[in-house]
Structure 1
Amino acid sequence: MTLFTFPLCSSLPHPSSPSPTSPPTPISSTNSIIDLSTISFSSLWKLRHHLQEASRLATANYPETLGMVVVVNSPSYFPTIWGWIKGWFDEGTRNKIYVLGRDPGPTLHTLIDVQDLPKAYGGELEWTFEDEPSLDEDARKAVGGEMPRGPAVFVNGRVEQLGLVGKE
Structure 2
Amino acid sequence: MTRFALRLCTHLPHRTAPTPVTSVTTIIDLEQVTLPALWSLRSHLQEASALATANYPETLSTIAVVNSPSFFPTVWNWIKPWFDEGTRRKVHVLGKDPGPTLRTLIDPKDLPKPYGGELEWTFEDEPALDEEAKALIGEMPKGPALFEDGEVRRPTPPSLETTDVVPSKS
TM over 0.5: yes
How far did 1:163 drift?
Answer: 5.2
After TM superposition, the structure 1 stretch with the greater mean CA deviation from structure 2, 60-69 or 28-37, is: 60-69
2:10 is matched with 10
Q: Describe the SS at the equivalent of 2:58.
A: helix
RMSD: 1.3
Query: Could you tell me which residue of structure 1 aligns to residue 139 of structure 2?
Result: 146
Deviation string, structure 1 residues 107-127 (Cα, Å, up to 9, x no partner): 222222211110011100111
DSSP 3-state at the match of 1:64:
coil
User: Take 2:156 and 2:134, find their aligned partners in 1: how far apart are those partners?
Assistant: 23
The answer to whether the 8 A contact 2:100-2:116 is kept is no
Q: Give the 4+ runs in structure 1 shifted more than 3 A.
A: none
**Offset of residue 69 of structure 1:** 0.5
The yes-or-no answer on 1:74 pairing with 2:68 is: yes
- CA–CA distance in structure 1, aligned partners of residues 61 and 37 of structure 2: 27
Residue type at the aligned position of 2:152: V
Q: Name the residue aligned to 1:21.
A: none
Q: CA deviation at 1:137?
A: 1.3
Amino acid at match of 1:15: R
Q: Secondary structure at the match of 2:127?
A: coil
Greater Cα shift, 62-71 or 103-112: 103-112
Q: Which amino acid aligns with 1:64?
A: E
Match of 1:95 in 2: 89
Question: TM (normalized to structure 2)?
Answer: 0.88
Unpaired segments of 5 or more residues in structure 2?
Answer: 158-170
**TM-score scaled by structure 1?**
0.89
